[in-house]
Amino acid sequence: MDETVDQISDLPPSIIHHIMTYLSAKEVTRTSILSTSWNQFQNSFPILDFDLMNFIFSNLKVCMQKLRIYVCPLDVEGSSPLFDKWIELATENGLEVLDFMVIADENTYYALPQTIFSAKLLTSLKLVGCKLELPSFTCAHLKKLLLSEFPLNDRELHHLISKCPLLEDLSISHCHSLGRIMISSNKLEHLLISSCYGLNALDVDAPRLLSFIFDLNPIPIISTNALCPWNVTLDCDSNLDCDWFLSLKEFLGASSQIERLCIDFSSVEVYLNVLYD
C-alpha cells in the first residue's frame, strides 16, 4: 500500500503561516505534534493570541509580528507581572501589532509599561482597559491607535498624539475624562470619537482626513480643518432646553461637511399633555 503523501507540509512557510491565522491559539499549538516540520512552523508562527484560558508563558525566541491579549482577570494587579512578561517577549521579537484588552472592575486598569514604545516596528496599537505612562520619545512607525476605556486627560492625549507623527488612523471611545480633544496632524486619514461623555470641545486640524465618525458624544464647541464627510450621531441630553438647541445650531453651523446626522433620543423622557374637550 502506498504511503499517503503529505503535500501540505511541502508548502512554503509563508503559506502555512497564513493558513494558521484561521486557527485558534489552542489549534495552532496542537499542530506542533503533527511532525517535526509542523513543530517548526508553530515555533516560527508570527502571531500570538492569548485569552483567559491561555495563560501559559514560555521563553520562546520567535518572530512575533502580532500579539493579541483578551483577558478578564479577577486580579489585575496580581496578573500584571505576567502581562509585562508577554509584552517584553513581544517587543524583543519584532512586534508590529499589539491588541491588548483587559476587562476588569471599573477604575481598575492594567498599567502598560512604557517599554512598548521601544518596539521599533510597532505600527498598530489597540488598548482597552489599560493605562499608560506617556512616551518621552517619538513613536516613529505607529500608524494606527485605538484607545478605549482609557483614563487619560486632555493634556495626556495631546502629548501622546504629538509623539506619533505618522499616525493615520485614530479611534477614541469611552474615555470619559476627556473634556477637550485637540488633534493636529498632516498624516491623519481616519478619525473616530465615540461615547466620550465628558467632551465639551473639539479642535481638529487634519487636512488629509478621509473619514470622520463622531458617535454618541455630547454636543461640543468645535473648531475644525477637515474637509472630509462627517458621520455624526449625537447623544441627546436629557434636558432639552433652549441651551441644548442653541448648542446644536452652533455645532451644525460650524461645518458644512456633515454628510449624515442622527440624534439619539433614547435617554430622553417625553411627556405629552393631552387636552380633552
Percent of the chain with pLDDT over 70: 71
Residue closest to 187 by CA, chosen among 139, 126, 251: 139
Q: Tell me: the pLDDT tens digits for 149-193?
A: 999 999 999 999 999 999 999 999 999 999 999 999 999 999 999
The answer, yes or no, to whether residue 116 has pLDDT greater than 70, is yes
- Label residue 277 by pLDDT band (50, 70, 90): very low
Dihedral-angle region of residue 107 (phi above 0 means left; psi in -120 to 50 means alpha; beta otherwise): left
Is this prediction's pTM over 0.85? no
- Label residue 232 by pLDDT band (50, 70, 90): very high
Q: Which residue has the cell 470641545?
A: 201
pLDDT at 229: 92
The answer, yes or no, to whether residue 267 has pLDDT greater than 70, is no
